[in-house]
Structure 1
Amino acid sequence: MRFIEFFTANIRNPNTRKAYARATVDFLSWCETRGVTALPAIQPIHIAAWIEELGESLAAPTVKLRLAALRHLFDWLVVGQVMPVNPAQAVRGPKYSAKKGRTPVLSPEEARQLLASIPTDTISGQRDRALIALMTYSFARVSAAVNMKVRDVYTQNRRLWVRLHEKGGKLHELPCHHTLEAYLHDYIEAGGFGDDGRGPLFRTVARGTGQLSQAPLARQDVHTMIRRRAAAAGIETAIGCHTFRATGITAYLKNGGTLEKAAHIANHSSTKTTQLYDRRSDDISLDEIERILI
């Protein structure tokens, strides 16, 4: 019961719960194949060997996340007197330091090309254009976007605003860029759900009908949609949901925005996190490389 409580009562964020559960299942399966079949039998050497194997196929941040999952789990079990000590506490993860994120970023021209390429003669096209624009112009995380209700788009001071449900239960409210405002208006009007305040904003399309359902889009659906729309627009970069957050932040900073304001819009607690999305140096590097005139 203590083990189950860790994933239910202790962890509230569903994304964290999935990541920690995936790491735990992977480690316990690894232990089982090596004859370690009881929790008290797990030793630091087992965790160290598992981490070493993970490092051969996974990136350092992923390995560190999985080690953190075990540390938190075993801490919880130690407090509950299920295990005598935390075997993961003494294990060191791989060193990792990054000043720039690895998220693929689109140029402003590519972002406009993608938005313009989405056909708007269907409700799914209206939805996809509004969703991509939301993540680009408000720096919204995909999880915050898909969790939005219709009532989270509202008018204030004669301007459309959005209310994002961010990590940790935080609410983040922002005015809409004029382009985003137009796309959201078009989508909500075409969907005909403006009075359904408690309903999901971004909905799936019911199979065989071409009409919106009452079910919200899942993050995986958004990722698949983005890849499909990018391929149709002729964009070769392997983009994902986070691409638009990084694209928006970089474009904002290129046009004179400050790092502090960018952090506020992105709802980052530290500007150090925002700096990971700042890809202005990519252009500088490319310009310098082109100086090699051979």
Structure 2
Amino acid sequence: MVKISSGLVVETSERLLTASEFQNLANVPPEVEWFANIENANTRRAYRNDVRDFMRFAGIQQAEEFRLVKRSHLIAWRKQLETRKLEASTVRRKLSAVASLFDYLCECNAVPFNPADGVKRPNQGTNEGKSPALGDAEAKALLEAPATDTLKGLRDRAILSILLFHGLRRAELCSLAVGDLQSRRGVLHFRVHGKGGKIRFLPVHPHSLQRISEYLEHAGHGDNPGNALFRPIKNSSGGLDEALTGHGVYKDVVRKYARVLGLDPSAVCVHGLRATAATNALDHEADIAKVQEWLGHASIATTRLYDRRKTKPEDSPTFKVNY
């Protein structure tokens, strides 16, 4: 036996890490720890590319070299990003990625301050988000576009209903399992697995509940809570029990019916439907703080990008001009 501390004793045979492995983990730089702690795959991919971009610019080759970075390096990088004609939102994201890294280094006492603090971010250029929202008539047409007499049509009708009535992200929709339909205080809810491992519960709209019931009745996999809610109808690899992919939702559902209806391709994407749901909720007097929780936004500033109540086309002075 090895005594670790007062009252705590463990058998040496219980040790899972070798002494060498233990020492190696103890020597992991905090820069590496920061990246390992990012759970969302999309965020990891974006932040990895952004930090690598800065490393190439600054000539950083070792993680420890981040501790030599000053605010002037980041200001110079920002100017270089702007000369590349990148969108303001892209520049902001890249600066945010590096700022997040230095926040972690500050917490670990690896650096005395965050050099990204005080580095001005470019304005968004607009008070609205980039994803245009569909009009009510367009949304209704999209909801009714899939067939009602095929399994694919029933599945797609349920998918479009969830996107337009609940504003889920593509990954959130794909991660839904049958068991994520749960009753809370007598009302059926979705248990949504959001960004950063956060879980939120959203009441299921009656429109969506009806379509999900019709789909599961014909699909036949609704008796196992662990089953993916939405699955492929056809798959060349034979994996019909797996969850439908985000690419499948975008290409084979959303864009497919948008093309059939002749809708604006720039407006009809999965995020465009999320913008449509948020805009519609705000137009119908939903509280913006509640919409923030509903969408799973960390900051209400992000939710405000969907608030288009002051920019309704019909309220524009354009339509007040009368010669």
TM bucket (normalised to shorter chain) is 0.7 to 0.9
Tell me the number of residue pairs that the alignment of Structure 1 and Structure 2 aligns.
289
Q: Percent identity?
A: 31
Displacement after TM superposition at 1:83 (Å): 7.1
Q: Answer with 1 or 2: which has the greater Rg.
A: 2
Q: Given that residues 39 and 197 in structure 2 are in contact (C-alpha distance below 8 angstroms), is that contact kept between their aligned partners in structure 1?
A: no
Q: Within 5 A, what are the aligned runs for 1:6-155?
A: 6-8=34-36, 10-32=37-59, 37=61, 39=65, 44-56=71-83, 57-76=85-104, 87-89=115-117, 91-96=119-124, 99-154=127-182
CA RMSD of aligned residues (A): 3.3
Residue 213 of structure 1 pairs with residue 240 of structure 2: yes
Measured in 2, the distance between the counterparts of 1:259 and 1:232 equals: 34
How has the CA–CA distance of structure 1 residues 76 and 115 changed in structure 2, closer, same or farther, with 3 Å as cutoff?
same
Measured in 2, the distance between the counterparts of 1:37 and 1:262 equals: 43
Measured in 1, the distance between the counterparts of 2:272 and 2:121 equals: 27
Q: Secondary structure at the match of 1:58?
A: coil
Q: Which residue of 2 aligns with 1:166?
A: 194
How has the CA–CA distance of structure 1 residues 90 and 254 changed in structure 2, closer, same or farther, with 3 Å as cutoff?
closer
How far does the alpha carbon of each residue in 1:154-188 deviate from its partner, in whole angstroms, 9 at most, with x for none? 45677643221223433322332221111111222
Displacement after TM superposition at 1:54 (Å): 1.9
Measured in 1, the distance between the counterparts of 2:203 and 2:111 equals: 50
Measured in 1, the distance between the counterparts of 2:41 and 2:169 equals: 14
Match of 1:197 among 202, 205, 225: 225
Give the unaligned 5+ runs of structure 2. 1-27
The amino acid that maps onto 1:250 is: T
How far does the alpha carbon of each residue in 1:127-174 deviate from its partner, in whole angstroms, 9 at most, with x for none? 332122112112223232222111112456776432212234333223
Q: Secondary structure at the match of 2:200?
A: strand
Measured in 2, the distance between the counterparts of 1:283 and 1:80 equals: 48
How has the CA–CA distance of structure 1 residues 105 and 31 changed in structure 2, closer, same or farther, with 3 Å as cutoff?
same
Q: Secondary structure at the match of 2:257?
A: helix
Displacement after TM superposition at 1:66 (Å): 0.9
Measured in 2, the distance between the counterparts of 1:267 and 1:42 equals: 33
Q: Secondary structure at the match of 1:11?
A: coil
Displacement after TM superposition at 1:55 (Å): 2.4
Measured in 1, the distance between the counterparts of 2:319 and 2:165 equals: 31
Moved more, 104-113 or 186-195: 186-195
Residue 274 of structure 1 pairs with residue 309 of structure 2: no
Q: Which residue of 1 aligns with 2:9?
A: none
How has the CA–CA distance of structure 1 residues 291 and 237 changed in structure 2, closer, same or farther, with 3 Å as cutoff?
farther
Give the unaligned 5+ runs of structure 1. none
Displacement after TM superposition at 1:18 (Å): 1.9
Q: Given that residues 150 and 199 in structure 1 are in contact (C-alpha distance below 8 angstroms), is that contact kept between their aligned partners in structure 2?
A: yes
Measured in 1, the distance between the counterparts of 2:199 and 2:178 equals: 15
Displacement after TM superposition at 1:81 (Å): 7.8
Q: Given that residues 246 and 278 in structure 1 are in contact (C-alpha distance below 8 angstroms), is that contact kept between their aligned partners in structure 2?
A: no
